Amino acid sequence: MLFDFLLVLIQILIGAVFVVLNQTSEIVAIIVSFLASYSIISFSALTLLAYLFPYSNIKFRQEINILIRKSKHLYVVGISAGVVDRIDKLVIGFFLPLEVLGKYALTSGILAFGRFLPEAIAKSMFFEREQNKTEISGVNPPPRSIAIFCGSLFLSMCAAEVIVFLFGEEWNLPFTFTLLFALQELVRAYYQMSISSLLLSKRADIVAKSARYLLFLSLIFIPLFTYLIGVYGPPTSLILVYLIMYIYTSLSQARGGSH
């Protein structure tokens, strides 16, 4: 979380410096700020890890090889999640005016902050299993999780007021879009929890398959729905895609438990 905040802060500062200097176009300032910020954060993260976890070269190579072999299925998950999180803006920019793209990027970016609650729950499942605090079977969340999800929904819908306060009413999309996006994040959270449950059940093969299916369906549905219903297309299509993938992972978990 700290690195995420630092990343955004560095991007804003570098972009602001270039804009004030007025020596480059705004698009160049944005690109340079992104490249520089990710480079700085990546170097800082590696330096911090090297400081916290000293290693010998031989032991390090052995552990890296083990890590690569055991986590190769997660590469597919990370790539598919990254593409799905960004393809909507590319599609919006292709089918709709740039003004709509600006509003969509601003609104979706602020609303996405609400996803940290369900993602934290999904990651905490691993910690609880490691500490032998709970046994997780299936993907049915406890009442506490449902309450947090509802709280995340409420925060997402309230984020629209933040946009109006900071940027003005002209930058705000209709409330129905906010509601759709919040629902998208809710379904996405359940999908993330089902993935965590599969990983805990040693079903890495299903996790890798679901990531590929998620990417395939998103590449088809997001452009199609955006072409048909405009700015409402990405959240509507992703609700459908995440719902399909949630059902798929739930059925896979149930079949795995029956053997």
pTM for this predicted structure: 0.69
Do 249 and 206 form a contact (C-beta atoms < 8 A)? Answer: yes
Mean pLDDT, to the nearest integer, of 30-59? Answer: 78
Q: With a cut of 80, say whether residue 214 has pLDDT above it.
A: yes
Mean pLDDT, to the nearest integer, of 183-206? Answer: 78
Do 81 and 211 form a contact (C-beta atoms < 8 A)? Answer: yes
pLDDT at 149: 62
Q: With a cut of 80, say whether residue 24 has pLDDT above it.
A: no
Write the pLDDT tens digit of every residue in 69-117: 777 667 777 788 888 888 888 888 888 887 888 888 877 777 776 666 6
pLDDT at 137: 45
Do 35 and 43 form a contact (C-beta atoms < 8 A)? Answer: no
In the predicted model, what is the mean pLDDT of the chain? 77
pLDDT at 136: 44
pLDDT at 135: 46
Select the more confidently predicted residue: 56 or 21.
21
Listed ranges 54-68, 168-182, 210-224; the one with the highest mean pLDDT: 210-224
**Dist. CA 239–CA 226, nearest whole Å:** 13
pLDDT at 250: 83
Do 186 and 149 form a contact (C-beta atoms < 8 A)? Answer: yes
pLDDT band at 221 (very low <50, low <70, confident <90, very high): very high
Write the pLDDT tens digit of every residue in 229-239: 999 999 999 99
Mean pLDDT, to the nearest integer, of 208-215? Answer: 88
pLDDT at 224: 94
| Helix (H) or strand (E) segment spanning residue 182 | helix 175-200
**Dist. CA 103–CA 172, nearest whole Å:** 7
What tokens were used for 174? 């209709």
Say which DSSP state 137 is in. Answer: -
Write the pLDDT tens digit of every residue in 121-166: 656 655 665 555 444 444 455 565 566 667 666 766 677 777 777 7
* Amino acid residing at 126: F
For residues 95-128, one letter each, b for 16 or more C-beta atoms within 10 angstroms of the residue's C-beta and e for the rest, the string is: bbeeeebebbebbbebbeebbebbbebbeebeee
Q: Is 19 exposed, middle or buried (0-12, 13-18, 19+ CB in 10 A)?
A: middle
Give the rounded percent of residues in the chain with a pLDDT score beyond 70. Answer: 76
